Structure 1
Amino acid sequence: MSHRSQNEKLEWIVKELCIDSGKYKDLKVSRQDRRNIMRSLMNIRMPRPISNEFLEIQDDFLRQESFEKGIVKLETIPTIWEECHSSHPFSNKISIWQGDITRLQVDAIVNAANSQMLGCFVPCHGCIDNAIHSSAGIQLREECFRYMNRKKNEDRNYEEPTGEALLTGAYNLPSRYVLHTVGPIVRNQLNESLKEELRSCYRSCIDLAVKYGIRSIAFCCISTGEFRFPNVAAADIAIEVIGEKLQEFRDQIDRVIFNVYKEIDLELYIKGFSK
């Protein structure tokens, strides 16, 4: 089916996902709704086997879609030295980039996951966990499920601890890997314990990256969205910890990218590296 148009592939994928769901096998889908329906059905789908034909066509569709969105290569992203002559000691190894993290062609991108570690099940939700899983394809949830299954064989009530990191493949994303980390949830007031958990997220991701020879890594703004970690404190912690880890692993890490989406985070990181 690779010779067919994106619309033809999308129509086929949606039809197969509707059948696969059972519940939505008779769903009538308009042409303009197909892409959102595809994402929604991927989001709610529990991990289970599917045909190789489906995976091949899904992969072909998602890779072409990724190409059309525009893949951003590492060499096109300026460092903070090139961009604003920052005096930070590692200004030649750090970048700030605003945009969609699923477009980045780096060794690894960081996903702000939840403790169930299976991605977001809310159809078309705006969180980064949903965006990454939706662009990677259903294989990413399958790999996360296998990991969680092994853990649950040891402890049936297992949930991924806050502050640790898991490395998986990236499948149809331009990056090579995804680093999943569970950030702290701020339910009431921010305190030192929550700050330390966020520091652990950044440390764990860098430590795991170094362990597997990952030399370029793009961090999202962990915990600042649905988990309600204050943006100012989160940016200060990220800048602090990455500075420490680059000091420790200066020869093993080539580039750390702070991927921001909101204007407030862009301003905070620029300000933070201008001090």
Structure 2
Amino acid sequence: MADSQFPSHGLVARGGSPRALPLAAYREAIGLDEPFRPAAAPAPADLLDDHVRTVLRLLGGDPAVPRLGVRAGSPPDPGTADATTARQLLRALLTVRPPGPLPGAAAGLLDAVLGAERRLRPAVAVAQLPSIGEEFPRTRYRAAPHTALWRGDITTLAADAIVNAANSALLGCFRPFHPCIDNAIHSAAGPRLRDDCATVMALQGAAEPTGTAKITRGHHLPARHVLHTVGPITDGRPRTGDAAALAASYRACLDLAAEVGTVRTLAFCAVSTGVFGYPKDEAALVALRTVADWLAAHPGRFDRIVFTVFRADDETAYRRALGTAT
């Protein structure tokens, strides 16, 4: 989605830079403090494939279908597609589909599918993760007792909130199977996450500025909330001010999470290091130092902060950074 879809409506501060919407202006509109209640219970494992095919049939006439390169009303026959193909087609359709309600019974059936898929992905409890101090006893990192480094799929982490590296439209990735964390989080959470983001952005009336954050519910994720932040785009060549912008993203997430009393554990992804191109070693140092500074200024606010990495080179970058961070 292009930034131009969110023209500024009085949300421009002096100097011409956009001003982000405060939590109080959208908290109630997205039911942030209400528990997520799916429209249906998770599908039994032996009925999951049938549910997927039924949802595909119900969405066969959806206006988003042509974006998949097939004729509207004529997606590949769900009845003949194998289970893997059917699930991939449903995921792709939900990826390209704009915000908005699902037709008829599709919402409940999709909740049953997403609930079943969540059960198939074992959740990892933050309390079970060793602290950096326990895992790296020789580190001089001052926040080591209150932080953890974990390599895995952030969509399986049962934290009170996880951080999503978003783009400025804040609606998720619209490219099927694109290997970005934005896509992975929206796919696991389900389309209500995009709906919530659309509500927030409509209220804001402008693209999300770099170095700021928004918070929504997590819906089908094991995490109750998702923090969406826009980090700097560097393409591997950080410019003057990019480190400050990246640090601002981390601080914005911490500040915003602190406004929600139920958030005691928070898991960061490696913001800006994926498709945005920030060098991993430099980004890890920014993350570690920014979090340590924030925790020192707000002792006791969070029980545990997790630095979540997915690839081996991401983990290596943090391990190297922990050798120098203080």
Moved more, 241-250 or 77-86: 77-86
- The one-letter code matched in structure 2 to 1:101 is I
Contiguous gaps of at least 5 residues in structure 2 = 1-39, 67-71
Shift of 1:187: 4.6
Whether 1:140 aligns to 2:193 is yes
Question: Equivalents in 1 of 2:148, 2:105: separation in Å?
Answer: 39
- Report the counterpart of residue 164 of structure 1 in structure 2: 212
User: Structure 2 CA distance, aligned partners of 1:53 and 1:98?
Assistant: 38
What residue is the counterpart of 2:25 in the other structure?
none
Shift of 1:268: 1.6
Task: Report the Cα offset of residue 206 of structure 1.
Answer: 0.3
Residues 9 and 246 of structure 1, relative CA distance in 2, 3 Å threshold: same
1:8 alignment counterpart: 50
What is the aligned counterpart of 2:164 among 108, 111, 121? 111
Superposed, 1:60-71 pairs within 5 Å as 60-71=112-123
Which of the pair is proportionally richer in helix?
A: 1
| TM-score for both structures, normalised by structure 2 | 0.79
Instruction: Give the alignment partner of residue 181 of structure 2, picking from 106, 128, 138.
Output: 128
Residue of structure 1 in register with 2:61 after alignment: 19
1:237 lines up with 2:271 in the alignment: no
Same amino acid, percent of matched pairs: 35
Q: CA deviation at 1:51?
A: 4.0
Match of 2:92 in 1: 40
**Aligned partners of 1:63 and 1:173 also within 8 Å:** no
2-structure distance, mates of 1:8, 1:188 = 45
Deviation by residue 1:144-164 (Cα, 9 ceiling, x = unmatched) = 111111122xxxxx2110000
* RMSD across aligned positions (CA): 1.7
1:78-227 maps to which residues of 2 (within 5 A)?
78-85=130-137, 86-152=139-205, 158-187=206-235, 189-213=237-261, 214-227=263-276
Given the alignment, which residue of 261, 264, 271 partners 2:310?
A: 261
Deviation of 1:248 (Å): 1.3
Separation in structure 2 between the aligned mates of residue 174 and residue 52 of structure 1, nearest angstrom: 26
Distance 1:115 1:252 in 2: 28
Give the letter aligned to residue 147 of structure 2: I
Q: Is the contact between residue 59 and residue 106 of structure 2 (CA under 8 Å) also seen in structure 1? A: no
2:210 touches 2:245 (CA, 8 Å); kept in 1? yes
**Corresponding residue to 1:271 among 320, 323, 326:** 320
- Give the TM-score, by structure 1 length: 0.93
Report runs of 4+ in structure 1 exceeding 3 Å deviation. Answer: 1-4, 21-24
CA contact (8 A) 1:107 1:217 kept: yes
1:100–1:261 CA contact under 8 A, matched in 2: yes
Deviation at 1:63, TM superposition (A): 2.0
CA contact 1:165–1:181 (8 Å) conserved in 2: yes
Q: 1:7: Cα distance to partner? A: 0.7
Stretch deviating more after TM superposition (170-179 or 184-193) = 184-193
